[in-house]
Amino acid sequence: MNASLLKECTRIDIRNTKREVSNGKSSAYDKDPNAVLDYSEDWTAWLAGDTITALSIIATSGITVQSQTTTFPCSVVTVWLAGGTGSISYSVTFHVTTTAGRQDDRTITINCIDR
């Protein structure tokens, strides 16, 4: 990987990395319905040298996916979420495809809480 690409891959603002609940497969985060925040998943260990070539985000109805970002071949993917309704939990799934043809999902839970 060239130096400029590595620099781009490491310049990621991850404000919501505190995992409030984690069971090894999914994480849960608290979010105010009025907040617009970014959530990231790091696939480095799973990739084991492979490269992410495609990303899709699937969210349950009621929360808005504003954007999704990664600079391929980075191993960290980020989604920006908005909205939601207080006292409701939402699932957001990161689906990746790799150069080798592997596909996998990681799902986070967003608990909307009026703050």
CATH classification of the domain holding 27: 2.60.40.10
Q: Is the pLDDT of residue 20 over 90?
A: no
- Which tokens sit at 89? 């939990």
- Which tokens sit at 49? 């040298």
pTM for the full predicted model: 0.77
Q: How many C-beta atoms surround the C-beta of residue 109 within 10 A? A: 16
Average pLDDT over residues 84-103: 96
Q: How far apart are CA 114 and CA 55, in angstroms?
A: 30
Which runs of E-coded beta strand occur in the chain? 21-22, 26-31, 36-42, 52-59, 63-69, 76-83, 89-98, 103-112
Average pLDDT over residues 42-69: 93
- What is the average pLDDT value for the chain, to the nearest integer? 82
Q: What total number of domains does the chain contain?
A: 1
pLDDT of amino acid 11: 36
- The more confidently predicted of residues 34 and 16 is 34
Cβ distance 69 to 77 under 8 Å? Answer: yes
- 44 DSSP 8-state letter: H
Residue 72: which pLDDT band, with cuts at 50, 70 and 90? low
State which residues form the domain around 50: 3-112
Residue 25: which pLDDT band, with cuts at 50, 70 and 90? low
Express each pLDDT in 30-47 by its tens digit: 999 999 999 999 999 999
